[in-house]
Chains A and B, each alone.
Chain A
Amino acid sequence: MSLNVKDLHYTLAKQTLLQDINFQAKKGEVVGIIGPNGAGKSTLLKHIAAILPIKKEQIMLDGKDISKLKPREISRHIAYLSQFASFPQISVLESLELGRRSYSGMMLSQLDKEMISQSIEEFDLHKLLHRSIDTLSGGERQKVMIASAMLQEPDVLLLDEPISHLDPKNQLEMLSAIHKVTYEKNLVTLVVLHDLQHAIHYCDSLLMLKLGEIKYHIKTDMLEEKMLEELFDIQTKLYYVSGHIFVYYGHHH
Chain B
Amino acid sequence: MTLSSVYKRRKKKRVVVLLILLIILLILLYLSLISGSSGIVWKDSTKLFSLSEQDKTFQIIVNSIRLPRALAGIMVGALLGLSGAVMQGILQNPLASPFTLGISQGAGFGAAIAIIVLPEYTIGSSCFGEFYIAISAFTSSMLCTFCILWMSSKVGMNPTSIILAGVGLGSLFHSGTMFLQYFTDEMNAAATLFWTFGDLSRAREFSLYILLMVFIPASIFFLVSHWKFDALCFGDESAFNKGVNVNKFRMVALIVASLCAAVGVAFFGIIGFIGLIAPHMVRMIIGTSHSILLPLSAIFGGVLLLGADLLARTFLYPIVLPVGILTSFIGAPLLLYLLVTLKRIKE
Contacts and interface: CB of A to CB of B under 8 A. Distances in A.
Interface residues of B, number: 32
A101 interface: yes
Nearest to A84: B235
A165 B118 CA distance: 63
B242 A75 contact: yes
A70 B246 CA distance: 12
Interface residues of A, number: 41
Interface in A64-94: 70-72, 74-76, 78-82, 84, 86, 88-91, 93-94
Given A70-B245, A82-B238, A106-B227, A93 B233 contact: no
B245 A71 contact: yes
Contacts of B2: 117, 126
A89 B283 contact: yes
A106 B224 contact: yes
Contacts of B242: 75, 98-99, 101-102, 152
B48 to A, nearest CB: 39
Contacts, number: 99
A79 B241 contact: yes
B6 A80 contact: no
Interface stretch (A127-135, A181-189, A239-247): A127-135
Give the interface SS of chain B, mostly helix, strand, loop or mixed.
helix
Nearest to A79: B241
A97 interface: yes
A130 B241 contact: no
Contacts of B233: 86, 88-90
B241 A51 contact: yes
A75 B289 contact: no
A72 B246 CA distance: 11
A120 interface: yes
B91 interface: no
A195 B289 CA distance: 36
Contacts of A74: 241, 243
B328 interface: no
B227 A132 contact: no
7 contacts: A51-B237, A79-B241, A90-B233, A93-B3, A98-B231, A113-B3, A129-B3
Interface of B: 1-3, 6-7, 9-10, 223-227, 230-231, 233-235, 237-238, 240-246, 283, 287-289, 291, 347
Interface of A: 46, 49-51, 70-72, 74-76, 78-82, 84, 86, 88-91, 93-95, 97-99, 101-102, 105-106, 113, 116-117, 120, 126-127, 129-130, 132, 152
